[in-house]
Amino acid sequence: MNNWQPWSLRELVGDLTTGATTPAEALQRSRARIAETDPELRAWVELGAPASANGPLGGVPLAVKDIVDVAGLPTRCGSQLRADAPPAAADAAIVTAWRNAGAIPVGKSVTTEFAYFAPGPTRNPAAPEHTPGGSSSGSAAAVAAGQVPLALGSQTAGSVTRPAAFCGVASLVLTRGRFSVEGVTGLSPSLDSHGFFAAGASDLALAWSALTGEPDSGLATGRPPRLLLWTPQALEPPMATALTSACAKLRAAGAVIDEFPDGRLIAQLTAAHPVIMAYEAARERAVELAAASQLSEQLATLLRTGAATSEHDYETARRTTTEAGERLSELLADYDAVLGPAALGPAPAGITATGDPVLSRPWQALGLPALCVPGMRTEAGLPLGLQLVGAALSETELLATACWSEAALRA
């Protein structure tokens, strides 16, 4: 059975708009696909009782990562410490926003333990013997399998971009602070961002337009973008080859691509990110730190490391991100986005680890919007993702760049 069958949000909304399908039929299709594939994929923690919704999405089934509150469902955060959590009394603010856009939460998708590294049971629809990534593994897998056309995630290091790349779907990490995090169990307040998954960049653009009322970037052809190419040193050969091929296609279609001029800037941000993450996680999850013996070794180590991190080191890391952010803003003034790989390579074999988020750390330290464009594959058929990073609050423009790039890569 081929479990990789992403469900186009744009096609579904078109059918809902014309009456070719109904919200009830969309929910029925979602439930049927979950029943068909989830015994193997295990992308879901719990399914709920969907309610009707009005808005531009018109009844689109939505998966919600299980660190985000949905009224009537428990928020277990992938942890035995929350095994007996009561149902949430109210939706998280971000869930309310998506309901207002017309999406219908159908259940909670698997997260790693408190959105850190200890993996859940989810398998990768594109490659069941390879990790789906983390921490939004259930949401990425649910979209890749066509169980839902839209899913919510969150990113503190690489928890949206990496699973999207590994599972062969698109994702958008929002500018930090774009929407309230009320009702979300966070890990690091200075780093936590909302994100969501869909089949392709055009589907993301439609969802973003429905959520914010901003123009639908997927409807216009757009102009060829100006991009800064970031090529990390440690890329695996299939990703290095794919990145070179993608640049050739984009240039042939008219894009201007210049080399990213300041590798030192990236290195500084990559080093600062884990210091901030550990320091803040130890304080945000102080209750869990007190029960460290019941945590995974990965999370317990993070919290203990953060508790031992000095105020001086934390403030130094924070200053680094502030200064680097100012420098990157200057660089992006003449470009539409930074273009680079979304991960070091394809999804690593095995499901006992979630892969390395290192290529998301610098951008997440700055809280910038980041978009994963799918479509590339290794010779063995494993998905590879490209990453586009834009200036703060430039999601609509970033989506336009992504839609243009997606079309150029498919041509």
- Contact by Cβ (8 Å): 370, 179: no
| 296 is known as an active-site residue | no
Given the residues 30, 136, 139, 159, select the one marked as catalytic: 159
Q: What is the rounded CA–CA span in Å between residue 285 and residue 303?
A: 8
Closest to 172 (Cα-Cα) out of 130, 138, 203: 203
User: Do you find a cis peptide bond into 171, omega within 30 degrees of 0?
Assistant: no
- For 204-316, list the strands marked E by DSSP: 226-229, 256-259
Show the tokens assigned to 280.
């803040």
Show the tokens assigned to 376.
């590339």
| 65 is known as an active-site residue | yes
| 360 is known as an active-site residue | no
Q: What is the rounded CA–CA span in Å between residue 55 and residue 210?
A: 8
- Three-state secondary structure readout of 294-318: HCCHHHHHHHHHHHHCCHHHHHHHH
- Contact by Cβ (8 Å): 200, 144: no
- Contact by Cβ (8 Å): 116, 186: no
Given the residues 79, 109, 135, 188, select the one marked as catalytic: 135
Helix or strand or coil: residue 43? coil
Supply the DSSP symbol for 68: B
CA distances in angstroms from 168 to 89, 245, 273, 382, 408, listed in the order given: 35, 17, 26, 8, 17
Given the residues 30, 65, 190, 193, select the one marked as catalytic: 65
Q: What is the rounded CA–CA span in Å between residue 29 and residue 169?
A: 19
- Catalytic residue numbers read 65, 135, 159
